[in-house]
Chain A
Amino acid sequence: MSRQLATFVLDGAHYGVDVLHVQEALRSQVRTPVPVAPPGIAGLVNLRGQVVLTVDLRVRLGLEPLAPDAEPMMVVVQVDGEPVSLLVDEIGDVIDVEDSQFETPPDTLDGGLRDVVVGAYKLDRGLLLALDVDAATAA
C-alpha cells in the first residue's frame, strides 16, 4: 500500500506527515507569544481571521528551540478538526511512499523522539521520518 506524505526539513533531517492532515504550507507570520504555555508552543498566528496555534517542532524533537530571528515556514495541519501550525525549516515535496519501505524506529532512538516519530521510510536519497501529528502537537 502506498500513501502520500508531505515532507519538510528540520535541522537537516527529512520528516513527513500524511498529506491528508495538511491544510496548507506558508511563510511564517508574526506570532503572538503565549506566556506560561508549555514548552514547544510557539505562539498564535492570525490565519485569515482564524486564530491558529503554532508548535515549534524543534522542541518536540528534542532540538534547540528556534532562534528568535529565524524565519521558519509553517505547515498547517488539521488535528482533531482544529488547525495547528508546525514551524519547520524548509518545505519539501509531496512524495509517494510504500509500506514496504517502512520500518519502525530503532531502539536506540532517543526517548523524546520516539514519542513523535512513528518510523522511517527508507528512500533512495535517505531516510524520511514519519511524524505522528497528534503526538507532536499534543500540549
Chain B
Amino acid sequence: MEDLDEIVREFLVESHENLDQLDSDLVALEGSPESRELLSSVFRTIHTIKGTSGFLAFGKLEKLTHAGENLLVELRDGRRSMDLPTTDVLLEMVDGVRSILQAIESTSTEGDVDVAPTVERIRVVLEQRDQVEETPVPDPTPAPEAPADPTPVAEVAPPVAEPVAAPAPEPAAEPAAKAKAPRKIRAVKRPAAAKAPAAPSVEATVEPTPEPTPTPEPAPVAETPAAKPTPAKATPAKAAGNESAGEPSRSAADASIRVDVDLLDALMRQVGELVLARNAITRLADDSAGSDLVRASQRLSLIASELQEGVMKTRMQPIEHVWSKVPRMVRDLAAACDRQVRLEMVGGDTELDRSLLEAIKDPLTHLIRNAIDHGIESAVDRTAAGKTAQGLLSLRAYHAGGQVVVEVTDDGKGIDHERVATKAVEKGLRTPQQVAAMAPAELLQLLFLPGFSTAEAVTNVSGRGVGMDVVRTKIEGIGGTVDVDSSVGKGTTWRLRIPLTLAIMPALTIVCDEQLYAIPQVSLVELVALDAQTNESSIEYIRSAPVYRLRGDLLPLVDLREVFGSGPREEGVRTVIAVLQADTQRFGLIVDRVLNTEEIVVKPLSARLKSIGLYAGATLLGDGRVSLILDVQAIARRSMAGEIGEAERGSRASATVEAVETVQVLVAGVGDGRRVAIPLSAVTRLEKIPATAIEHAGGREVVQYRGSITPVVRLGSSYGMAVAEDDELTVVVYTRGARSVAIVVEEIVDIVDDDAAKHYDLGDHGLMGSTVLKDRVTELLDIQSAVVAVDPYFFTDVEVPSQHGPLDPDDINSPAAGRGALVGV
C-alpha cells in the first residue's frame, strides 16, 4: 500500500508539471498550429497521463485523457488543424484532468468530477470534423508536418521517459497510424524534402518500423531497438534544434532526483548557522597569532562559502516555473477582456530562490491582469490610435546588481498621471495642493497607495480597488521594490526588483553609540568619511537641517544618533556618511564608524519590536552578539517626514517660480559665511550708507533715504546672526510704489541666474528653500516675509488717507510686487 501511495504521489507531481507545460503548449499551438514539436509534446503528455492512470486504475482520468488523445491523434496526423473550438475543448480537458488530479491528491480517489460532458464535447468536435473529413488530406500543407515524424517520437519517447511501465498500447493510436501509413508516404515525398532536409532520412527509417509490429502491443523491446539508432539520434537533434520546452526536463530525468523542499529549507537554515559560526571563527582567528588557526579558518571560510552557494543553488529555480502559467492566463484574460494580445517572454531561465518565486507569483499575476485589462486597449481603439491591433505584453527577467529584475511591459494606453492626480484627490488620498506640487513620476507612485484604483469600471478581472498596494506590500515583504514607468499612449512598465535570496545577505556593519548595526548592502550607494578637520566645514546647515555637498548636489543628512535619541557625539570625532538609497530618495546616514561588510543571516524580529519600524530584522555577529538590521526605507520615511512637510510647502512655493525657469538673483553675504539670494525683481537700488545714519523710530531701525523714513531689515540679525557694526552698511533698497525698505546685508557677491529646477526644499521660516549658486549653498530669501516683518503693510494696498510718518503703513502700494529695477551700486 505504501508503495502504491508513493507511485501515486510521483504520478501527481509529474502530472502537475506536465499539465503546466501542456497549458503553454496548447496556447502556443494555437499560434503555430503546424508545429510538430508542440503537437508531439502535447500528445506525449496526455498519453503518459492516460497510460499511468490506466495502470493505477483511475478510470475517469483514463476515459477523459483517452478522448483527448483521440482528438490529438487527428491533429498529429494532420487530419485536422488546430482551431479555436479544438483548443477550447482541449483546454477544458486539461482542466478536467487537473481537477481529477486534485481530487486524487486530497482524497486518493477520483472524486465526483464528472468527465462525461467534456468527453461528449470532444466527441462532438471530432464528429464535426469527420463530416468534412479527408478534405485536407490531398492538401499538402498539414500533411508534411504531422504524418511521419510524430509517430516515432510518440511511440518511442514514452518508454524512454517512463521507466515505470510500458503504458498500455493505444488502440486508438495504432489503427490511426496504420491507416495513415500509405497516405503519409505519399505526402512526404514532395514537401518534406523541401521543408526539412534532415527529416526525410528519419522518416524513411522509422516509417516501416511501426508497420511490422502494429497488431499486438507495440512490444517496446522489439520495436525500440529496431527504431532506436535513427530516432534516438533524431530526437535530441530536434530538441536542440527548435524545441526547448518539454524535452530537456525529460532527458534530464536520469540525472536529477526529487528532493523534499522542507529538507532544502532545513539545509539552508543549517548553512545559515554555519555561516555565523564561520564568522565567529574568523573573528577569533583574526585576534589570535596562531597561523595554523588562521589557515584553518580561511579554509573553513572558503568551504562554507562554497557550501552556501551550493545550497542556495539547489533552491534556485528558473522563473519559467511561474511563467509557465502565463500564456494560458493571458489567453483567457485577453478573451475575457476582448483584447488581442501577443505575449513575449524573455529571460525565463533567470533563477530565483524558490520561496521568492512563490512570493512573486501573485504580484506578477496581478500586474499581468492589470496590463491586459487596463493597459492594452481593444483592437478598435488601438487601430484608431495608429497601433497594431494586437497588443504586446512582454515579461522580462534579468539579473542586475545582485538583484533580479522582473519587468511587465505593455504597449497599451499608458497611465495618465493627471488622471492619477485627480483620482487621488477624489479619493481623499492627497490634497489638490499636494498633487499640484508633484512631478509626474511622483504621481505614479500614488498608484501604490491603499484604496487606489483607476479603473473606470469594475470588471471581473480587476479594478476593485485592491491592487497595487498589495503588490507593493508583497514585494516589499520579501525585501524587494516595485516601481512604474509609463508614458501616455505608449505603454507602461512595471518593474519588480527582487533580492536573489532572503536568508543570507551581504550587509555593512556600522557602529553607533557603541552598538553594532547592519545596513543591507543593497541600499548602500557609497561611503563618505569625514575627518575631524573637515567635519565642521563640510556639513552645512540649512537652519537645523544638516546637508552635505556631494559632488555639487545637496545630500540631506540623517544622524543615526538623533534617530535613536542617543546623546550627541563628542566634538571633533571622525564620522562617516553612509549614502543610502531609499525608494526614490537618496540620503546620508551619519554613523560613528564603519566596520566591514559581512554576510549576515536574517533572523526574524519579535513582533513586539516590529511596531517600532526602524529595524528590518536581527542577525548574529561573529562574536555571538545580536545586531539589529536597519530598515533603510523606514528610517528615510521617518526622518524625512518632517522635511517632506516642508518640502511640500517649499515645492508649492517654488511651483510659482518654476514657470520662469531661471530667475536672476542677487547673491549677498549675510555674515558667518551664509549667503542669501534675493530675487532681482525685489532689488531697486544698492546703496552704501554710514552706520551712523541708522536712527530709531518706534523701536525700529530706520534710515532716511531720499527724503523719506525707510524701515531697515537686517538680514543677518533676522536670521539670528550677529552683524559686525561696520562703519559703512551695504543696503539693498526695495521700493514698491511709494514705500521702500532697506535690507542690510554684509556684502554683495554677485548677480547670477538661478535655475528654479535645482532648488532644494530645505529651508526655514523666512526662506523659500536653498540652492547651490557659485558652488555655495545659498538660501533663497522669502522677500515678502522679510519685509513684512518690519513693515506689515508693505504689500497691502489699502489706501489710508492720513499721512503720518513713513513708518506708518499708509502709503499706497501698487499691487504688482517686484517691479523694481536694478539701478546700480
Enumerate chain A interface residues (CB-CB to B < 8 A): 30-38, 41, 43-46, 49-53, 80, 82, 84, 137-139
Partner of B609, one of A31, A41, A80: A41
Contact A37 B625 (CB under 8 A): no
In the complex, whether B273 has a CB less than 8 A from a CB of chain A is yes
A53 with B627, Cβ < 8 A, contacts A33-B515, A35-B564, A36-B565 known: no
For B620, list chain A residues within 8 Å (CB). 46, 49, 51
Least CB distance from A29 to B in Å reads 9
In the complex, whether B395 has a CB less than 8 A from a CB of chain A is no
The segment from B162-170, B230-238, B600-608, B785-793 found at the interface with A is B600-608
Nearest neighbor of B610 in chain A, beta-carbon distance: A139
In the complex, whether B618 has a CB less than 8 A from a CB of chain A is yes
For A53, list chain B residues within 8 Å (CB). 606, 608-609
How many angstroms from the CA of A139 to the CA of B609 in the assembled complex? 8
Nearest neighbor of B612 in chain A, beta-carbon distance: A36
Least CB distance from B241 to A in Å reads 52
Contact B564 A32 (CB under 8 A): no
Least CB distance from B615 to A in Å reads 7
For A41, list chain B residues within 8 Å (CB). 608-609
Enumerate chain B interface residues (CB-CB to A < 8 A): 273, 276, 513, 515, 563-566, 603-609, 611-612, 614-615, 618-620, 624-628
For A139, list chain B residues within 8 Å (CB). 608-609, 611
Nearest neighbor of B272 in chain A, beta-carbon distance: A49
How many angstroms from the CA of A137 to the CA of B603 in the assembled complex? 20
Can you give 6 contacting A-B residue pairs, CB < 8 Å?
A: A32-B515, A32-B628, A37-B612, A51-B619, A53-B608, A138-B608
How many angstroms from the CA of A44 to the CA of B565 in the assembled complex? 19
Nearest neighbor of B618 in chain A, beta-carbon distance: A51
Q: Which of B565, B605, B606, B614 has the most CB of A within 10 A?
A: B606
For A32, list chain B residues within 8 Å (CB). 515, 618, 625-628
For A34, list chain B residues within 8 Å (CB). 609, 612, 615, 628
A82 with B603, Cβ < 8 A, contacts A32-B625, A36-B612 known: no
Least CB distance from B604 to A in Å reads 8
Nearest neighbor of B566 in chain A, beta-carbon distance: A35
For B565, list chain A residues within 8 Å (CB). 35-36
Nearest neighbor of A49 in chain B, beta-carbon distance: B273
Q: Which 7 A-B pairs have the closest CB atoms?
A: A35-B564, A139-B608, A53-B606, A32-B626, A44-B626, A51-B603, A51-B618
Taking A36-B565, A44-B626 as known contacts, 7 extra A-B pairs with beta carbons closer than 8 A to each other, sorted by chain A number, are: A34-B609, A35-B515, A37-B612, A44-B606, A44-B618, A53-B606, A53-B609
How many angstroms from the CA of A138 to the CA of B605 in the assembled complex? 15
Contact A49 B628 (CB under 8 A): no
Q: Which of A33, A36, A53 has the most CB of B within 10 A?
A: A36
For A80, list chain B residues within 8 Å (CB). 607
Contact A46 B626 (CB under 8 A): yes
Least CB distance from B781 to A in Å reads 37
For B603, list chain A residues within 8 Å (CB). 50-51
Contact A82 B606 (CB under 8 A): yes
Nearest neighbor of A35 in chain B, beta-carbon distance: B564
Least CB distance from A42 to B in Å reads 12
How many angstroms from the CA of A51 to the CA of B518 in the assembled complex? 15
How many angstroms from the CA of A105 to the CA of B565 in the assembled complex? 38
How many angstroms from the CA of A137 to the CA of B565 in the assembled complex? 23
For A138, list chain B residues within 8 Å (CB). 608
How many angstroms from the CA of A82 to the CA of B627 in the assembled complex? 19
For A36, list chain B residues within 8 Å (CB). 563-565, 612, 614
